[in-house]
Amino acid sequence: MIKFLIYSLIHYLINVIFIKYNFLIDKLSISEHKKKISSNLVTPLSGGVIFILIFPFIDANQDYLLLFSIISFYILGIMSDINYVSSPIVRIILQALCILFFLILDDLSIRSLSTEILDRLLDFKIINIFFLLICLLVLVNGFNFLDGVNTLVIGNFIICLLSVLYISTKNGLILDTIIVENLLIIFSVIYLFNFFGKSFLGDSGTYAISFLVGILFINFAYENYLSVSPYFVGSILWYPAIENLFSILRRLSSSDKISNADNSHLHHFLHECMKKKFVSKKNLFINTFTGVMINIYLIISAFISTIYFNHTKILLLIITINFIIYLFVYFQLKKNTLKNNF
């Protein structure tokens, strides 16, 4: 509780400084992509700065690569937030270089995918690294796609960490609980501020946090591969992954550039539907309520995955069902949104 209050005070002071010096402010004029979905308040992108408070709990001697990679992602995110690196292609290339730097110098790998053919392929280090590179790129950019309504991304992070912490504690599995527990406190502070629209993660926060969460989950599966199904990671982190992959397919099918931002994500359509339903409510309420609604479903899904964390077939079924539900909800919301606009 004391840490929560201290971190909250630090977050408040950083917000005051950012606003006073007009640094990393999310204004409606910054990005057309965020115009229709953000609150009209001037809000600092300070979530990533608070996240850096986790650094004292990371062993710099053993995890210097992790620290360097997180800082690299945070700096890249800042460059994106201030439009210094505006090209999506350039951002992805820089992300890939950061990830490759970490993977090549670290021993992290996928030990098994519970399929003999795939496992044989993963025995080749270059294939293993390439597979992890794709997974982390999908995850980082998937979470960035979701950063359009309050509480959605940070709530998803909290759900993920609670799941892995519960499994580890109950079953005596290997996990850096000190980092995870302190991350949960920090994320709770960010969630509180984000809930009331007082701070956003921005690209800086989303890039750095999603990379760390991805590494934590991959490492958890790596260290406990005999006890944890490799598909547990996918069953917990399915939403940003599916959002990313589906967005790419959607843009390809409509002959749009993959890198072009749009307001056609599931949370955008849900937000528009909520605006029609709660006409008298302020946009901040609708914005936050949209994120909370999606996170409620993610809690239910994560709860089931947590119970069956070592059952590969059930986890694959969960991923499949979530994908089908996602597609059904997406097209229903899109249909309702387009109908209401005419």
208-265 confidence digits (pLDDT tens): 999 999 999 999 988 888 899 989 999 999 999 999 999 888 888 877 777 677 788 8
Q: Which residue has the higher pLDDT, 189 or 342?
A: 189
Half-sphere exposure in the Cβ direction for 160 (13 Å, CA): 30
Q: Give the mean pLDDT of the chain.
A: 87
Least confident stretch, 150-154, 200-204, 218-222, 279-283: 279-283
Phi, psi at residue 43, to the nearest 5°?
Answer: -130, 130
Q: What is the pLDDT of residues 127-183, one digit of tens each?
A: 999 999 999 999 999 999 998 889 999 999 999 999 999 999 998 888 888 889 999
- Mean pLDDT, range 322-335, rounded to an integer: 93
Q: Are 229 and 307 in contact (CB under 8 A)?
A: no
Rg over alpha carbons for the chain, rounded to the nearest Å, is: 19
pLDDT of residue 261: 73
* Most distant CA pair in the chain, distance: 60
The helix (H) or strand (E) run that includes residue 44 is strand 43-44
- Partnered with residue 26 across adjacent β-strands are 43
Q: Are 52 and 235 in contact (CB under 8 A)?
A: no
- Mean pLDDT, range 120-132, rounded to an integer: 92
pLDDT of residue 152: 94
- Mean pLDDT, range 26-45, rounded to an integer: 54
Cα separation values, 266 from 119, 128, 269, 271, 300, Å: 34, 31, 5, 9, 18
CA–CA distance, 132 with 139 (Å, rounded to integer):
10
CA–CA distance, 175 with 312 (Å, rounded to integer):
20
Report field, pTM of the whole predicted structure over 0.95:
no
For the chain, give the percent of residues with pLDDT over 70. Answer: 93
pLDDT of residue 29: 34
> C-alpha dihedral over 211, 190, 41, 84, to 10 degrees?
-30
Residue linked to tokens 């795939």: 118
Q: Are 136 and 148 in contact (CB under 8 A)?
A: no
**Is it the case that residue 315 has pLDDT exceeding 80?**
yes
Q: Which two tokens stand for residue 225?
A: 């591969």
pLDDT band at 41 (very low <50, low <70, confident <90, very high): low
CA–CA distance, 59 with 65 (Å, rounded to integer):
10
pLDDT of residue 30: 44
pLDDT of residue 147: 87
Q: Are 191 and 155 in contact (CB under 8 A)?
A: yes
CA–CA distance, 186 with 77 (Å, rounded to integer):
19
Least confident stretch, 30-39, 83-92, 270-279: 30-39
Closest CA to 307 of 236, 222, 216: 236
CA–CA distance, 75 with 244 (Å, rounded to integer):
22
CA–CA distance, 148 with 150 (Å, rounded to integer):
7
Q: Which residue has the higher pLDDT, 241 or 37?
A: 241
